[in-house]
Chains A and B, each alone.
Chain A
Amino acid sequence: MSRVAVVDYGIGNVFSVCNALKHIGVDPILTRDAKEIRNAGRLILPGVGAFSRAMENLRSLDLDTEIRAYVAAGRPFLGVCIGMQVLLDVSSEFGTHSGLGLIPGSVEKIPSVTTQNAALRVPHVSWAQVKQVSAEDTGGWRKSAFYRPAYYYFVHSYSAQPADPVNLMATTEYGGHQIAAAIRRDNVTGVQFHPERSGPAGLQMLKHFIEADDC
């Protein structure tokens, strides 16, 4: 199996993501090295915390360029939580910050009221059911990972809003709002939830991503 690289950019849950990969029999390489990223067979960008800090770290380590190059080569990429949000063009978290722009759209605060105008608790902290919504036939590993209604662990205050609905692969409902759970454009996939913290269902999702031959 080709090498699975996890981007090490001084932010959040890299330890947990690597642990989860080890548990499913993968020996990931935790790296910020340009060459190792370019040669990886799978690239995972984890992350928790603030959008701006994540982007700052990526830029200062020149990893934004490396990630774009990796993606341009057509190889499978998975962003998790903040690692998913930075895939979009822009975020409104603590000011306006630009992202990697790999999927058109923005990142916006989760509304503090439900669609029925009742108070809604934010951050959204929940084991929530994910439903596949894209009309596009996502097929392959994504079909196994998202078509069945699984429960995954979410913890976030902002959510991704892809400009083109075709990039919205799966959602979860919170306060009546449809929150992006998984987004995708070609070989780039991002999940808002934490597969590394979502028990057997999350591990299974990671396994699908690693083992698929159709990314």
Chain B
Amino acid sequence: MSHLIKGVQMEGWRKMGDPAERARKYYAEGADELLYIDVVASLYERNNLADIVRQVASETFVPITVGGGINSLEAAKALLDVGADKVAVNTGATKCPELLNEISDTYGSQAVVLSVEAKRLPNGGWTAMTDNGRNHTGREVVGWVEEAARRGVGEVLITSIDQDGCSKGMDLELIAAVSAVVDIPVIASGGVGAMEHVRAGIDCGASAIAIAKALHTDEQNLLDLRKMLAQSGVPVRPYAEKEMPGV
């Protein structure tokens, strides 16, 4: 049995519902992509999302990215084989950066996303963490992202630990710093509580914004969010729920 969970600054995880049911809801409301991260994967040293991914991939028809505990080419394959379009790699890559080359060379750069948990340093800059902000990697975020891009990842998912789950806005300096050094798409995450936060993230250079808590708590819904973003000039895919029947 799996649960959809969400924390604050990657701590104090709370159950938020059924992961497959939420996927169906977000798909029906026009999510552009679904992102699943197994936050306890490192504890068990394996990703436990295969069953959920298999189910969700047969019921929803948007890209699915899956992360957590991907520490080998075989682990990546196991998820891609059940319907994931991309794997997001954090710990596995910080321990063995060559893993990024391996997955990219085998499945294409479009299949591998570097996932970074960024924690702001008191004297400026950010350090890359793993295991939900518990462990230090000793890597400085901007340099690490640059290295991963050279190793062939197709996208970067950058999560601000400081802003995560707080609904007070994103770490815009982080988004700008990372977006400036790579020429691959950057997906920014952590801190979205309102439409303005999404817009600010896009304005700072992010290609896409990942939202968790604001949707899981139903404080925001994707249909309204999309409409508001379009009205404020952000280029989003027009989508109406009435598109669903029939197909």
- Identify the A interface with B (CB < 8 A): 12-13, 15-16, 19-20, 22-24, 48-50, 112, 119-123, 125-127, 151, 153, 155-157, 194, 196-204, 207
Contact = CB atoms under 8 A, between A and B. Distances in A.
A153 B30 CA distance: 13
A204 B154 contact: no
A151 B237 contact: yes
B111 interface: yes
Q: Which of A16, A112, A120, A204 has the most CB of B within 10 A?
A: A16
B146 interface: no
A198 B61 contact: yes
Interface of B: 27, 30, 32, 57-59, 61-63, 80-83, 85, 106-111, 154-155, 183-185, 207-208, 237-239, 243-244, 246-247
B57 A15 contact: yes
A4 B111 CA distance: 27
A22 B244 contact: no
Given A19-B83, A49-B107, A125-B207, A153 B62 contact: yes
Contacts, number: 98
A24 B246 CA distance: 9
A191 to B, nearest CB: 15
Contacts of A119: 183
Nearest to A198: B61
Contacts of B237: 127, 151
Contacts of A155: 63, 85, 110, 154
Given A197-B62, A200-B243, A112 B183 contact: yes
B154 A13 contact: no
A167 B154 CA distance: 29
Contact of B185 (A123, A127, A201, A202): A123
Given A123-B110, A197-B62, 10 more contacts: A48-B108, A49-B110, A122-B184, A123-B154, A151-B238, A153-B63, A156-B110, A197-B85, A199-B30, A204-B246
A19 B154 contact: no
17 contacts: A23-B247, A24-B247, A48-B110, A49-B106, A121-B183, A123-B110, A123-B154, A123-B155, A125-B154, A125-B185, A125-B207, A151-B238, A153-B32, A153-B63, A155-B154, A198-B62, A200-B244
B212 to A, nearest CB: 20
A49 B112 CA distance: 11
Contacts of A201: 243
Nearest to A125: B185
A123 B110 CA distance: 7
Q: Most chain-B Cβ atoms within 10 A of its Cβ — which of A122, A151, A156, A199?
A: A199
B179 to A, nearest CB: 9
Contacts of B238: 151
A123 B109 contact: yes
A140 B108 CA distance: 34
Best-surrounded residue of A119, A123, A200 (most CB of chain B within 10 A): A200
Contacts of B111: 48-49
A127 B32 CA distance: 8
A125 B183 contact: no
Contacts of A200: 61, 243-244, 246-247
Contacts of A16: 57, 61, 83, 85
A89 B239 CA distance: 37
Contacts of A126: 207
Contact of A13 (B27, B85, B239): B85
User: A12, A122, A125, A203: which has the most chain B beta carbons within 10 Å?
Assistant: A125
Contacts of A127: 32, 237
A22 B27 contact: no
B110 A157 contact: yes
Given A16-B85, A153-B62, A203-B247, A121 B107 contact: no
A207 B61 CA distance: 14
Nearest to B108: A49
A15 B183 contact: no
Contact of A204 (B27, B109, B247): B247
A16 to B, nearest CB: 6
